[in-house]
Chains A and B, each alone.
Chain A
Amino acid sequence: MAVPAIEPAQREHWRARRWTLRENTAGWLFALPWIIGFVCFTAGPVIAALLISFTQWDVVNNPVWIGLDNYRQLLKDPSAHQALKVTTLYTVVSVPLHTALAFIIAIMLNNKLRGVGLYRTIFYLPSILPIAAIAVVWRWVLSPQYGIFNYLLSLGGIDGPQWLASPTWALPALILMSLFNIGGAMVIFLAGLQGVPRDLQEAAMVDGANWWHRQWNVTIPMMTPYILFEVVMGFIGTMQVFVQPYLMTDGGPKDATLFFLLYVYRNAFQFFSMGYASALSWVLFLYVVVLTVGIMRSARFWVYYEGQKG
């Protein structure tokens, strides 16, 4: 009597196991495109870049192992320092401004207003247009004599600076331009704001909190995970700024907009010093990793996760 009862159960067991095995294989097979891509286009190159950074190599001839020479050169290279300085300054100013502007606009658009769709489109558009075209357009917008920007300033009685032609104002000009690129962050904040529970706002209101208090004590804490995401992505993005200095200022005037990637590009593709360029890119990589980890670590002091409250 017991035998026929066990057999189907055991058959079931084996069928389940066979299925698990097949699923295991299928899982790896389906993920294979990414795994191959990861090895060939990310992991391999990251390690290769480290190795190349210990060599002198123009790609045509064979690489020559020179140990840490590239890194020694880097420590003494004023252009490398300038590039790191410019990129850091740009990041430190533009990421917070950019995030704050996107957040404020998102809060304003998170109301039931007529024309919200139109506003959203207008704020979003600049961030999807070809960056090369935007760069060329802004060269003209910021033209000291004939540009619309200085004209608008002159209406307010301000004598606008030379912008891209001025070593002092070229970097601020690029930062100003970056503030028009808030679309992506705005949309993410808008999505996040829909997840802020109304009842919390209501409760705060009943307790007599005014609008500012409610934003500060309810909305902003609930939005901190999104803010963290935007700060990290914004930071990684600003570390890769290239097109604007390349097409608008060529790194000038007087290296005032010599962004890091532009300097890497020059070393690699104009001077063909692949070794030195790799050393530069690895330093930047470490810089990004250290700062990203730093930002993430700081998260536990200011980021509020809904999950933690249960």
Chain B
Amino acid sequence: MSAIPSQSVTIRSKRVAPWRRTALDLAGRGALHLVLIALSILFLVPFLWALSTSLKDEGSVFAFPPQLIPETLHWRNYTDALTTVPFGRYALNTLFLVVVRVVGNLLSCSLVAFSFARLRWRGRDVVFFILLATMMVPHEVTLIPQYIIFAKIGWVNTYLPLTVPAFFADSAFYVFLLRQFFLAIPRELDDAARVDGAGFFEIYWRIILPLSKPALIAIGIFTFQNSWNAFFGPLIYLQDRSLYTVSLGLKQFQEENYTIWTQLMAASVAIMIPTLLVFFFLQRRFVEGITFTGLKG
């Protein structure tokens, strides 16, 4: 995998005179940087704007022209916003959901991926094809029966509908990614272990999993993000406020304080922070992880 980028060292055609080449190159690079910087600023504007508003006092929000840097920093917006609605509680709830989902997804998806990547069994290719096809099924169509089933067995208004499916490899995409990763691990390792008397589970647990840490970490991060950010599932399954997640908390906050922009922005920024922290601390892992998605099947 890491061998691919190193090929991309530029070798230029020898027809163009060297001095012209460097001049063109410099001009091209300069123009490229200009475009990229302009786009970057554009991409950052909404978030800087939210951050700036979240630190203003109520009155200067409506100043014209808008100030990007507040005169005084009103950190109180954060404490106010996060206590009007019990965001602390909601954060713990969300964290609980996240942890359970990460564990469930890692276990179940890796087991299933191991089966597709490492074991030969009748019907495997057909089943794998079906697995890929499920990626195309829109959630809307399974939504209502799932809800009714969970309602009939009394799971609505609990965390079970949001966590149990994670233990059944509900993300075909992660299974696919892990399978691709497992396929790249040399088979000789399995054979050697087999000669030493290891069973399938031992091969999975002691050989494949330890060698797949980067892929597992990446999928752990993806699951973290998805679960922390989830909106629709919590919206339909959680009714008691004591069970709410941070996203539902934000919805509640918006309903109660539709135009208190300073606090709305503070609450929004606050629930972005865990995602940002995970991203920055694990950025390298993250990028490694997403490059798997680019692997050809």
Across the interface, which residues of A come within 8 angstroms of B254, CB to CB?
136, 247
- B interface: dominant SS: helix
- What residues of chain A lie closer than 8 Å to B44, measured between beta carbons? 122
Q: Which residues of A contact B168 (CB under 8 A)?
A: 33-34, 36-37, 40-41
Q: Give B76-118 as 1s and 0s: 1 = Cβ < 8 Å from A's Cβ atoms.
A: 0000000000000000000000000000000010011011100
B33, B119, B130, B134: the one within 8 Å of A30 (CB): B119
Q: Determine if A130 and B148 form an interchain contact, defined as CB atoms under 8 angstroms apart.
A: no
Residues of B within 8 Å of A225, CB to CB, are 296
Q: Closest CB of chain B to A98's CB: distance in Å?
A: 14
Collect the chain B residues with CB atoms within 8 Å of residue A28's CB.
115, 121
Which of chain B's residues have a CB closer than 8 A to the CB of A145?
62
Q: A202 and B13: CB pair below 8 A? A: yes
User: Which residue from chain B places its CB closest to the CB of A260 in the assembled complex?
Assistant: B140
Task: Give, as a whole number of angstroms, the nearest-CB distance from A269 to chain B.
Answer: 6
A236 touching B141, Cβ below 8 Å? no
A32 CB to closest chain B CB (Å) equals 8
Give Cα A124–Cα B238 distance, bound, in whole angstroms. 30
Asked if residues B141 and A285 are in contact (CB atoms below 8 Å), the reply is yes
B165 and A37 contact, CB distance less than 8 A:
yes
- A52-B144, A128-B275, A131-B229 are contacts. A31–B115 as well, Cβ < 8 Å? yes
Q: What chain B residues lie within 8 Å of A40 (beta carbons)?
A: 149, 168
- Answer whether residue B145 sits at the interface, using C-beta atoms and an 8 A cutoff: yes
Assess A141 versus B120: contact at CB under 8 Å? Given A30-B200, A191-B291, A288-B138.
no
Contacts of B17 in A (CB 8 A): none
Across-interface contacts of B169 in A (CB, < 8 A): 33-34, 37
In the complex, whether B250 has a CB less than 8 A from a CB of chain A is yes
Give Cα A40 to B161, complex, Å.
12
Contact indicator B134/A42 (Cβ below 8 Å)? yes
Partner of A243, one of B121, B225, B231: B231
Interface residues of A in 140-186 (CB under 8 A from B): 140-141, 145-146, 148, 151-152, 180, 184
Q: How large is the interface on A (under 10, 10 to 19, 20 to 34, 35 or more residues)?
A: 35 or more
Is A132 within 8 A of B247, CB to CB?
A: yes
CB of B40 within 8 A of CB of A122, answer: yes
**Are A130 and B228 in touch, CB under 8 angstroms?**
yes
- Residues on B lying within 8 angstroms of A by beta carbon are 4-5, 7-8, 10-13, 15, 29, 32-33, 35-36, 39-40, 43-47, 49-50, 53, 61-62, 64-66, 108, 111-112, 114-116, 119-122, 124, 127, 130-131, 134, 136-149, 151, 165, 167-170, 172, 175, 200, 204, 225, 228-229, 231-232, 236, 246-247, 250-251, 254, 261, 264-265, 267-269, 271-272, 275-276, 279, 283, 287, 290-291, 293-296
A residues contacting B by CB (< 8 A) are 20, 22-31, 33-38, 40-42, 44-46, 48-49, 52, 59, 105, 108-113, 115, 118-123, 125-126, 128-134, 136-138, 140-141, 145-146, 148, 151-152, 180, 184, 187-188, 190-192, 194-195, 198, 202, 205-206, 225-226, 232, 236, 239-240, 242-243, 247, 260-261, 264-265, 268-269, 274, 277-278, 281-282, 284-285, 288-289, 292
In the A-B complex, the 10 residue pairs with the smallest Cβ-Cβ separation, listed nearest first, are: A191-B294, A27-B121, A37-B168, A30-B115, A45-B145, A48-B145, A45-B142, A27-B119, A133-B268, A132-B247
